[in-house]
Amino acid sequence: MTADEPLQFPGFQFDPPPQDEPDAEAEGLPPVPRPVNWNLLTSDQAAFEWVELDRWVNWLRRTYGLGPSIIPPLWHRHPELVWELSALHLHWLGAYHEQQNGSAPLGWHQDFAEARERLHDWVAACGSRLDRDRATRQTSWPGEEPAPAIAEAPIHDRAADFRTFVVEDVARRRAIEDAFIAADRDQPE
């Protein structure tokens, strides 16, 4: 699977993001940016949000020349990076909204400088690199099962990994939704 192939999974097809362009307003979405709570997204919402965030992250890393010590190729596999980048994306959307104050982009850039430091710290802690990745280490608290050993894995095709990750995430969310609907149908009235 190459970077220019559309993202496909049951019920969805997304065209590949245009290179080096920030988000364009999509039909049906509110014109005012809103926070994304990754814990509460439906399967449909998640499919859209993953593609939009990936598009923006690619634009961001190319526009600002950010290396893998700030945004590694498999950032999507690290929740701490997803949450930070998602918040930064929302902040960028707000700062560059047409109804925003003219100094808002400067505020975004000040916050972006702080966010780069946090991203760098988290990337160093999780051990993700340009050519290999490992899951973020977890510390087990007393009384918990020991955390499993974590091995590094080589990165062969970042775009294919992202597509696989999104397909699996959307399928997981859809299975939860389907189980909820089935359980609701089975409830006596």
- How confident is the model over 88-147, as pLDDT tens digits? 999 999 999 888 888 999 999 999 999 999 999 999 998 899 999 999 888 899 999 998
With beta carbons less than 8 A apart as the criterion, state whether 118 and 84 touch: yes
pLDDT exceeding 90 applies to what percent of the chain?
67
pLDDT exceeding 70 applies to what percent of the chain?
83
Two tokens, residue 98: 């047409």
- Which helix (H) or strand (E) segment holds residue 165: the answer is helix 158-186
pLDDT of residue 186: 72
159-169 residue pLDDT tens: 999 999 999 99
pLDDT of residue 150: 87
pLDDT grade for 178, boundaries at 50, 70 and 90 = very high
pLDDT of residue 53: 97
pLDDT of residue 26: 53
Two tokens, residue 101: 């104050």
Quote the CA–CA distance of 112 and 131 in Å, as a whole number.
25
Two tokens, residue 166: 């999104």
- DSSP H helices, 64-139, are 79-95, 104-126
Burial class, 167, CB count within 10 angstroms (exposed 0-12 / middle 13-18 / buried 19+)? middle
pLDDT of residue 2: 46
Q: Please tell me whether residue 160 adopts helix, strand or coil conformation.
A: helix
pLDDT grade for 184, boundaries at 50, 70 and 90 = confident
Residues 166-182: what's their mean pLDDT? 93
Quote the CA–CA distance of 131 and 153 in Å, as a whole number.
9
CA dihedral for 22, 27, 32, 36, sign (positive or negative): negative
Q: How many residues does the chain have?
A: 189
Quote the CA–CA distance of 167 and 123 in Å, as a whole number.
24
With beta carbons less than 8 A apart as the criterion, state whether 68 and 57 touch: no
Two tokens, residue 87: 């918040």
6-63 residue pLDDT tens: 555 555 555 544 444 454 455 554 566 789 999 999 999 999 999 999 999 999 999 9
Task: Judge whether residue 171 has pLDDT over 60.
Answer: yes
- Which helix (H) or strand (E) segment holds residue 14: the answer is strand 12-14
pLDDT of residue 10: 52
pTM for the model stands at 0.81
Number of alpha carbons in the 13 Å side-chain half-sphere of residue 162: 28
